[in-house]
Amino acid sequence: MMRVALVLGTRPEIIKLFPVLTALQAAGADVDIVHTNQHYSPTLDAQFFAELELPAPDWNLEVGSGSHGDQTGRMLVRLDPVLARGDYDWVVVQGDTNSALAGALSAAKLPAQVAHVEAGLRSFDREMPEEVNRRVIDHIADLLLPPTEPAAAQLVAEQVPGTVAPPTGNTVVDAVVSVAGGRRALSERDARILLTLHRGENVDDPGVLAGILGAVGEIAQAEGLGVDFPIHPRTEGRIRASRIALHPAIEVSAPTSFRRLVELESRARLVLTDSGGLQEECCVLGTPCVTLRTTTERPETVAVGANVVAGVEPGGIVEGARRMLALEDNAWEQPFGDGRAGERIAGLLSAGTPALAGG
């Protein structure tokens, strides 16, 4: 029986590996969940295990927060014996977090076979910790699982040593369709904006954070829209420490369940976010998205007209929001696959590297 370790640690990894876990279990694999506990607050962690009815992690490394080096280092120290003892056929990591980096690095040096879900994404901004992580993971993984054709082409162009699988689709589609109905027309949307904000480069500098939140208030005021703001603990702490006053249209709430987040996304007139996952989810759900960053590693969303990359200056954010609020139609093409990525990934892992074409 194939033995697989899914190494995860943060909210998006729990959601995006859930379809892989389900498909692996259906294929009869023996799967261990190895949780670094990079995310440990119940609203970022236990809430999703309960909601998605996931089994408790087989291993919880209880690493928690810290500087990048401290956090990643502690993960490595605790992962090495767990992965060595497990004698896994595959160690699977997803995306670009410090947990994914540590999982890949620990496994690659055992050595154990590493598979990278959502491989080949690039923002080309090497100051972003996630860009460093995803580049390193892609260059040490044995099996690269790109979600889209451009991501696969990027891996081939970089001549990664591992095997590049054909595009699998993104598991975010599997997760979204498991909780959502079809696309809601823009004319049927609530008079609401959904805002999420958590990246260090946006929330750690009080000037940048105040500028973004000021722009959100300006848009809400000018367009007569309310704002739902489920807040990451990091952002909440920074707003409190800097004593930033929020516009009264902005309604703060605790980080929400996946089901409620998808509901908010599918009812909102507009999403403002610095999250990668929300850019994808909006594209799937037909919700216009303004990305509060200067780059994106999800250019497919921009190409189909679902997303604009507005930067973090207030003027650019207001302009981007106006542009996306002016859209009358949300019938754009959906570039992330058919919702069967988990199944495809489980099939590729079961087939093993030699059976794959290309690479």
Stretch that binds ligand UD1, among 90-98, 143-151, 209-217, 246-254 (CB under 6 A): 90-98
Applying CB under 6 A, among 3, 25, 30, 41 the residue interacting with ligand UD1 is 41
Q: Tokens 């023996």 appear where?
A: 30
Q: CA neighbours within 13 Å on the CB side: how many for 101?
A: 18
| 98 binds ligand UD1 per the rule CB under 6 A | yes
| Minimum distance, C-beta of residue 98 to ligand UD1, in the bound complex (Å) | 4
| Catalytic residue check, 247 | no
| Minimum distance, C-beta of residue 87 to ligand UD1, in the bound complex (Å) | 27
Q: What DSSP assignment string belongs to 176-245?
A: HHHH--SPPPGGG--SEEEEE---HHHHSSHHHHHHHHHHHHHHHHHHT-EEEEE--HHHHHHHHHHTPP
CA distance 65 to 60: 14
Question: Nearer Cβ to ligand UD1, position 123 or 334?
Answer: 123
| 198 binds ligand UD1 per the rule CB under 6 A | yes
| Minimum distance, C-beta of residue 151 to ligand UD1, in the bound complex (Å) | 17
CA distance 286 to 268: 10
| 234 binds ligand UD1 per the rule CB under 6 A | yes
| 150 binds ligand UD1 per the rule CB under 6 A | no
Go through 153-181 and write b for each residue having 16 or more CB atoms within 10 A of its CB, e for each that does not. Answer: ebbeeeebebbbbebbbbbbbbbbbbbbe
Q: Note whether 16 and 41 are within 8 A (CB).
A: no
Applying CB under 6 A, among 40, 177, 252, 267 the residue interacting with ligand UD1 is 40
CA-to-CA separations, 284 to 142, 170, 324, 333, in angstroms, rounded: 29, 11, 16, 9
| 192 binds ligand UD1 per the rule CB under 6 A | no
Count of residues that bind ligand UD1 according to CB under 6 A: 19
| Minimum distance, C-beta of residue 250 to ligand UD1, in the bound complex (Å) | 20
| 57 binds ligand UD1 per the rule CB under 6 A | no
Contacts to ligand UD1 by CB under 6 A: 10-12, 38-41, 44-45, 65, 96-98, 129-130, 198, 233-234, 237
